[in-house]
Amino acid sequence: MPQSADPTLRTPVRSRFRQLRTNRTLLIMCLPAIAFFLIFAYLPMPGLYLAFIKYNYTDGIFRSPFVHWDNFRFLVITGDLWRLTANTVLYNLAFILLGNVLQIFVAILLNEVRKKWFKKLTQTLMFLPYFISFVLIGLIAYNILSYDYGLLNVILKSVGADPVKTYSNPHIWPFIIVLTYLWQSTGYGSIVYFAAIMGLDSEIVEAAEIDGANAFQRIRYIVLPWLKPTFIILLLFSLGGVLRGNFGLIYNLVGANNTALYATTDIIETYVFRSLMNNFNFSLGSAVSLYQSVFGFLVVITANWLVKKFSPDNSLF
pLDDT digits (tens, 9 = 90+) for 248-275: 999 999 987 888 899 899 998 888 888 7
pLDDT recorded at residue 10: 54
Q: For 66, phi and psi rounded to 5 degrees?
A: -80, 125
**How does residue 12 score in pLDDT terms, banded at 50, 70 and 90?**
low
> Residue 222 — φ and ψ, nearest 5°?
-120, -55
- pLDDT for position 287: 87
Q: What is the mean pLDDT of residues 84-94?
A: 92
How high is the pLDDT of residue 7? 52
Most confident of 20-24, 192-196, 201-205, 300-304: 192-196
On the question of pLDDT at 135 being above 80, the answer is: yes
Entry pTM:
0.82
Q: Please compute the mean of the pLDDT values over residues 295-314 and round it to a whole number.
A: 82
Domains and CATH numbers, the chain: 80-314 (1.10.3720.10)
Percent of the chain with pLDDT over 70: 96
Residue 27 has pLDDT above 70, yes or no: yes
Say whether pLDDT at 8 is over 80: no
Q: Answer yes or no: is pLDDT of 127 > 60.
A: yes
Q: How far is CA 90 from CA 98, 110, 201, 207, 266, in A?
A: 12, 29, 38, 43, 12
Confidence of residue 98 (pLDDT cuts 50, 70, 90): very high
User: CA 156, CA 179: separation in Å to the nearest integer?
Assistant: 22
Radius of gyration of the CA atoms of the chain, in A? 26
